[in-house]
Structure formats: structure tokens, C-alpha cells
């Protein structure tokens, strides 16, 4: 039953994630305000896609702009793994966070609906979504997943959609469970997984990218000089997934939600470099999104949780 649901889900994701509707093109022209006296400090979390020090550096300009625009102190919250940021949201220690689609769904389940999507990055051509991929060294003999059978293919973090959930679900649906078809250790993060491939620690690794590598781990690593695209080859690509959202707690005032949405949507007009730092790559800008846009991947999260219980 689980395999049938995941096979159906994989096909549905391929259609839905490419075309899932964004909300209005932009937030209202003016900030509402009034909530700052109750929330003089706003804490923004970011799941780890690189080192904490690099994340803090990349977000510095955004923090300064947010403080100027909103009239509050903005603090960045980072952690060594996905669960640290997710638990901070659930415990109401932070107000909003950039998450993967899967980690959003997990956080929503664990917080009993206590979070919802706010905005997500649009591709330069106006499309939405990203994919999970397996990458191998370009000079390796591996040209397909069949070539990698029995080899070391790393996943990233158990709470990563592209680095764990979707590969696990998709390969189970193909009758090739990841833990049986490959040797599949956890790399601890997306950059670590790809660097492990380059160093020869892993034969292949799961990570995430998007159309033309505009957004995702591969783009981030190329931007930082950690990777040359010609060094790797993609040998498997998942169905498209909904773009990683910035998620906000549902218990916050509507005026605060509105103003934070406007802040993100307007980033492209202030400084595209800041918008790209938030998007983790090239983008046309941030656009509003809603929970329904993530319904399919949230069902995959439910299915995966049930599958783990049965092990």
C-alpha cells in the first residue's frame, strides 16, 4: 500500500511542483506595523545547507535590511542540523525560518499546524520547484543508477526532502530500497555529500538543484568556488518538488505576517543579491505560497513516517 501511494505521489509531484500556483505577485504597497511593540526582536532561522559561519555571513545584508524596513532587531538562528531549527520553531524560540518542503511538513505535523508557508523563490524563468539528484564524478564509470548498485551513495540528513525523503520514497517505489540497493551513509549535509564524491569517499550522493542549476546546493557550491559543474555528472533526477519555503508561525499577528511577507517579496527591488541569498541561488524573486502548494510532499512525509514505524 505504501509503495502504491508513493508511486502515485511521485507522478503527481512531477505535475504539481512545476505548476503549483504562487499567491499574489506582490504584497500590499505599505507595511501595516503596530506589532513591533510586542515583537521588538524577530528571529529568523535557516536550515543548514552550508557551514553556520557562511550562513551568518550570507544573511548579514538581509538582517540589516530587515531591521531598517521593519523597525525591529532581527536575529539569525542557525543550528548544526535540520532538527535544531525545526525544534526552535516548534518551541516558539524563533518566529520564522527557511526550510525544505519536507522539513516544513514535518514541523507542521509536530507543531499540530503551528506553522505555515509564507514565501518561496521563483526561478528566473518564472517557474517554481527543484529536484533531488544523484551526482557522481564526471570521470567515474557510473552512467546510471544500475551502475551504482552496491556502491556507496550518500544521503544527507534524515529530515532533508531532496537528500533523504524523496530518494527513499522514490527508490522504494521502484523496488530498489536505498539501504539495500546502495550502501547509503549519511553525509551530514548537502555540501559534505558532494565534497565526499569529489574526494572519492562516496561513489555518488543525493543532493538538490533546479533548472539550469539556478537554485540549490550545486549553485551554492559553484558560487563559493567549491565545485566546478564539469566535475560532476547527474545520473538520476527525481520528479520536481515544491520550492523550499520560508515558514512562519501561525500564532503571530496577521499584521506581522503581512509585513514579513512584504519584506521578502520586495527583496528583489531592494537588492537582488539579498534575494538570491535567501533563495540559495538565482531567482526572479520571492512570491507568496500557501500550505496547499505543499500538500503532496506533506502526504509523502506522512507516508514516510508510517513506513519508519513499521521497521
Domains, the chain, in order of start with CATH, read 21-127+243-310 (3.40.190.10), 131-237 (3.40.190.10)
Largest Cα–Cα distance in the chain?
61
Task: Say whether pLDDT at 33 is over 50.
Answer: yes
Please report which confidence band the pLDDT of residue 199 belongs to, taking 50, 70 and 90 as the band edges: very high
Residues 6+ apart with CB under 8 A from 225: none
| Residue range 251-278, pLDDT digits in tens | 999 999 999 999 999 999 999 999 999 9
User: What's the burial of 125, exposed, middle or buried (CB within 10 Å: 0-12/13-18/19+)?
Assistant: exposed
- 233 backbone dihedrals φ, ψ, rounded to 5°: -135, 140
Residues 219-244, mean pLDDT to the nearest whole number: 93
pLDDT of residue 54: 63
CA distance 237 to 231: 17
What pLDDT score was predicted for residue 16?
45
Cell numbers 504597497 label which residue? Answer: 29
- Mean pLDDT score of the chain: 88
pLDDT(23) > 70 = no
Q: What is the pLDDT of residues 154-179, one digit of tens each?
A: 999 887 888 998 888 889 889 999 99
Per-residue pLDDT at 158: 85
Amino acid at each position: 500500500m505504501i509503495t502504491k501511494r508513493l508511486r502515485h505521489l511521485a507522478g503527481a509531484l512531477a505535475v504539481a511542483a512545476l505548476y503549483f500556483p504562487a499567491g499574489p505577485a506582490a504584497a500590499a504597497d505599505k507595511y501595516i506595523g503596530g506589532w513591533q511593540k510586542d515583537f521588538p526582536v524577530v528571529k529568523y532561522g535557516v536550515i543548514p545547507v552550508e557551514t553556520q559561519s557562511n550562513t551568518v555571513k550570507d544573511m548579514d545584508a538581509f538582517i540589516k535590511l530587515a531591521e531598517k524596513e521593519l523597525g525591529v532587531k532581527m536575529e539569525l538562528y542557525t543550528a548544526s542540523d535540520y532538527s535544531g531549527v525545526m525544534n526552535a520553531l516548534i518551541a516558539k524560540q524563533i518566529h520564522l525560518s527557511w526550510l525544505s518542503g519536507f522539513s516544513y511538513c514535518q514541523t507542521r505535523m509536530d507543531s499540530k499546524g503551528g506553522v505555515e508557508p509564507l514565501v518561496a523563490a521563483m526561478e528566473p524563468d518564472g517557474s517554481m520547484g527543484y529536484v533531488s539528484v544523484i551526482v557522481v564524478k564526471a570521470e567515474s564509470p557510473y552512467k546510471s543508477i544500475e551502475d551504482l548498485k552496491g556502491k556507496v551513495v550518500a544521503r544527507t540528513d534524515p529530515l532533508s526532502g531532496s537528500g533523504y525523503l524523496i530518494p527513499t520514497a522514490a527508490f522504494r517505489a521502484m523496488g530498489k530500497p536505498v539501504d539495500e540497493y546502495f550502501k547509503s551513509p549519511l553525509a551530514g549535509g548537502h555540501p559534505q555529500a558532494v565534497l565526499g564524491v569529489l574526494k572519492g569517499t562516496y561513489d555518488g550522493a543525493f543532493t538538490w538543484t533546479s533548472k539550469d542549476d539556478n537554485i540549490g546546493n550545486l549553485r551554492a557550491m559553484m558560487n563559493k568556488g567549491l565545485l566546478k559543474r564539469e566535475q560532476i555528472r547527474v545520473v538520476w533526477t527525481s520528479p520536481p518538488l515544491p520550492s523550499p519555503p520560508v515558514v512562519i508561525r501561525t500564532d503571530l499577528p496577521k499584521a506581522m505576517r503581512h509585513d514579513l511577507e512584504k519584506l521578502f517579496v520586495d527583496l528583489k527591488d531592494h537588492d537582488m543579491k539579498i534575494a538570491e541569498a535567501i533563495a540559495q541561488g538565482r531567482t526572479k524573486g520571492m512570491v507568496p505560497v500557501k500550505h496547499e502548494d505543499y500538500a503532496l510532499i506533506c502526504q509523502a512525509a506522512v507516508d514516510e513516517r508510517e513506513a519508519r514505524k513499521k521497521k
